[in-house]
Amino acid sequence: MVHAGVRDGADVWAEPVWLLLGVTQCLYLAIQAVLWMRYRSYAPPADDAQLPHLTVIIPAYNEGAMIERSIKSVAEADYPRDKLEILVVDDGSRDDTYFHMERMRRAFPQLVRLIRFPGNRGKRAGLHAGFTAARGEIVLTLDSDSEIDPITLKAMVAPFVADAKVGAVAGRVSVLNRATMLGRMLEVQYALAFDFGRAAQSSYRTVACCPGALSAFRLAVIKPHLDGWMNQSFLGRPVSHGEDQALTNVVLRAGYDTVYQRPAVVHTLAPTKFRPLWKMLTRWDRSYIVEGFSFARFMFSRYRTSNRVLPIVNFVVSNGRIVLLYYGLLLLPQLILSRPSFVIDYGIAALLGAACAALYYLQTERSLRFLYGVAYAVYAFFLLQWTLPWALLTVRDERWGTR
C-alpha cells in the first residue's frame, strides 16, 4: 500500500512516463500530419505508349473461388493487353483453388500463366517463382484474397515512369469485408495505418513497408538480390514471413526510393474475429522486429544521396514510443493504486487523441464511420497491445499462423 506522502520508485516514475508518452504521441501525430499534407501522388502517363510491360504475380494457397475475383479484377483492369501478363502461383493448394485458376486461364488465355507447386512451399517461394518467370519491367504483387480497382495498374506504374529513382511503390489497402463490427473498425484502422502513415513516409520517399496486398517493384532492382531474399535468416533460422517488408528493405538498401500511390486501391479480406486478427498482427510484428534490425544495419550509411535523415528520425521516434508505452504499462498498476484520477484523465485524453487521429478518416471519406476508429483504439489497447511482446518472445517461430 502507498501511504500519504510516501511514494515508491515505481510511483515516482509512472506519471512522468505517461506524460512523456502523451507528449511524444501528440508531437509524432503532428509531424505526421505535416508530412501527410506534403504528399502528392503521381498521375499516370497520358499516352499508353509510355506504359512499361507489367507482370502481376498472384500467389495463392487454399483460396478457393476468391482467386477468380482476384485474377478477373486484374485481367479487366485498364491496361494495354499487349503489355500485361498475369502469373498465378498455386502454392500446393489442397482445395479447388487450381480449378478456379484454370477457369481464369481459359477465360483470359493471352494474359494468364499458371505455375503449380506439388506441395506447399510458402508465399515467399511463390513470389520467387513469379519474379524468376516474370517478363515485365515492373512486377506487381497482389494477394489472392484481394481485388483491385480498374485504374490501379496504371496508377501503380506511374511513379516508375515519372522517376527513375523509384524502386518500389505501395498501393492503398482497403477492407473488402465490412459487414462485421471488427471489419468496420479495421476499415478505419487500415486507412490510418496504410494511407495516412504511408502518405507521410512517401513525402520523404521512404515507405517502410510496401504491403504484400499490393506493391510494385522494378524487376532490375530486386532480381540480383532474389536469392539472398529467398534464403534470408534471423537468429540462425530461415525467415518465411515479412516478405513484403524484406523486399522493401532490398530496394532501399540498393539506393532506390519507395513511394506511395493513393489512387491505386486494393480491396482485401480482413480478419472478422479476434483470433485470426491476433495471429495476423503477431506475424506483422515479427516482421517489424526482423526488418527493423535489417533497416538499422544500413540506415546510417550513405545508401542513397538524399532523404536519409527523416527515415532515421521516424525509426528512432517510432521505436521510442513503443519502449515508453510498455514501460508505462509495467508501471500502470502502481499508478492506478496511487493516482486513479490521473489514469482517468489520461484515458480521456487518449480517447480524444484517438478521435483526432480518426478525424483524418472523416476528412477523406466524409463518413461518420470514423467513430469506429475510436472504438478500435479502445479494442486494441485492451486486447491487442500484447501482440508485439509476444512476437518478440516468439520471433524465431516461422509458422504463417493464419492458415
Question: Bridge partners of 90?
Answer: 60, 116
How distant is the alpha carbon of residue 106 from its chain centre? 33
Q: Among 21, 36, 32, which Cα is nearest to 320's? A: 21
d(CA 63, CA 189): 25
Place of cell 479495421: 186
d(CA 337, CA 235): 40
pLDDT digits (tens, 9 = 90+) for 44-91: 999 999 999 999 999 999 999 999 999 999 999 999 999 999 999 999
Give phi and psi for 62, each to the nearest 5. 50, 45
Give 57-99 as a DSSP string: EEEESS-TTHHHHHHHHHHTSSS-GGGEEEEEEE-S-SSSHHH
pLDDT value, residue 343: 67
Task: Please determine, for residue 160, whether its predicted confidence score (pLDDT) is greater than 90.
Answer: yes
d(CA 18, CA 13): 9
Task: Please determine, for residue 345, whether its predicted confidence score (pLDDT) is greater than 50.
Answer: yes
Task: Please determine, for residue 9, whether its predicted confidence score (pLDDT) is greater than 60.
Answer: no
Among residues of the chain, what percentage have pLDDT more than 90? Answer: 66
pLDDT value, residue 381: 85
pLDDT digits (tens, 9 = 90+) for 302-312: 999 999 999 99
Virtual CA dihedral for 306, 310, 312, 318, nearest 10 degrees?
-160
Task: Please determine, for residue 338, whether its predicted confidence score (pLDDT) is greater than 80.
Answer: no
Q: What is the torsional sign of CA 289, 291, 294, 296? A: negative
d(CA 48, CA 226): 30
d(CA 34, CA 347): 26
d(CA 119, CA 4): 67
Decide: 104 and 74 in contact? Cβ < 8 Å. Answer: no
Q: Does domain 41-281 have CATH number 3.40.50.360?
A: no
pLDDT value, residue 53: 98
d(CA 219, CA 139): 6
pLDDT value, residue 193: 82
Give 300-327 as a DSSP string: TS-SSSS--HHHHHHHHHHHHHHHHHHH
Listed by start position, the domains of the chain span 9-37+309-393, 41-281
pLDDT value, residue 25: 81
Q: What is the pTM of this model?
A: 0.90
Task: Please determine, for residue 367, whether its predicted confidence score (pLDDT) is greater than 80.
Answer: no
* Mean pLDDT for the stretch of residues 30-56: 93
Least reliable range by pLDDT among 155-164, 215-224, 275-284, 327-336:
327-336
Task: Please determine, for residue 6, whether its predicted confidence score (pLDDT) is greater than 80.
Answer: no
pLDDT value, residue 11: 57
pLDDT digits (tens, 9 = 90+) for 249-291: 999 999 999 999 999 999 999 999 999 999 999 999 999 999 9
pLDDT value, residue 211: 95
Question: Hey, is 174 helix, strand or coil?
Answer: strand
Decide: 112 and 152 in contact? Cβ < 8 Å. Answer: no
Q: Among 181, 207, 290, which Cα is nearest to 241's? A: 290
pLDDT band at 184 (very low <50, low <70, confident <90, very high): very high
